[in-house]
Amino acid sequence: MNLETEIVYIIEDNSDLIEYKKNQIIIIPNALRNGIYGLIEENNSEDFDEKDLIKSAVRKALKLKESDIIVLKQEHIFIKIFNEAKRTKVSPSEVNTIAGRFNGIDESELDDFYDEYFSKEERKIFFNSIVKQFVEIYFIEEKIDNNLYEKNVFAYIQELIMKQLTNEFDHCLEFLKGFTGYIFRIHFNDVFESIAEFMLNEISISNDYMIEFLKYYSLNIVILNGEKYIVPSLETEDGLKWNVISMLSIAKVYTRTRDSVNRLQKEIYVVDEQILGLFINELSPVEYNNLYKKEKQKLSDQLRKEGRALEDMLDSVHRAKNENIKDGIRQNIERAKQDIRVTKKSIDKLSDKEIDRKKIDKYIKLEREIESMLRELKSQEKILAQNKNSFMSIKKSLVKALISKKQRI
Judged against a pLDDT cut of 70, whether residue 185 lies above it is answered with yes
Average pLDDT, the chain: 85
The pTM of the full predicted model, rounded to 2 decimals, is 0.73
**Confidence band (pLDDT; 50, 70, 90) for 89?**
low
pLDDT for 334: 78
Most confident of 37-41, 183-187, 342-346: 183-187
Reported as a single tens digit per residue, the pLDDT across 31-86 is 999 999 888 888 776 667 788 888 889 999 999 888 788 888 888 888 888 765 45
Query: Distance of alpha carbon 257 from its chain centroid, rounded?
Result: 20
Question: Around Cβ 313, how many Cβ atoms within 10 Å?
Answer: 18
pLDDT value of position 206: 92
Q: Return the bridge partners of 20, or none.
A: 26
DSSP H or E run through 224:
strand 221-224
Decide if 320 contacts 374 (C-beta within 8 A): no
Residue 357 banded pLDDT, cuts 50, 70, 90: confident
**What's the pLDDT score for residue 401?**
96
Give the ranges where 187-234 is alpha helix by DSSP (H).
188-204, 208-215
- What is the helix (H) or strand (E) element at residue 227, kind and residue range? strand 227-230
- The sign one gets for the Cα dihedral 344, 345, 347, 351 is positive
Do 318 and 284 meet the contact criterion of CB atoms below 8 Å apart?
Answer: no
Q: Is the pLDDT of residue 265 over 90?
A: yes
Contacts of 298 (CB under 8 A, 6+ apart): none
Exposure string for 238-249, b = 16+ CB within 10 A, e = fewer: eeeebebeebbe
For the chain, which residues make up each domain, given as ranges? 3-81, 92-252, 301-354
Q: What angle do CA 46, 51, 56 make, to 5 degrees?
A: 90
Segment among 225-229, 263-267, 270-274, 388-392 with least mean pLDDT: 225-229
Residue range 329-333: mean pLDDT, rounded: 77
Looking at residues 137-151, what average pLDDT do you find?
A: 95
- Rounded to whole angstroms, how far apart are CA atoms 292 and 347? 10
Three-class HEC string of 128-146 = HHHHHHHHHHHHHHCCCCH
pLDDT for position 394: 95
What is the rounded average pLDDT of the residues 318-343? 76
Banded pLDDT at 94 (limits 50, 70, 90): very low
Q: Which amino acid appears at position 213 of this protein?
A: F
The predicted structure's pLDDT at residue 373: 97
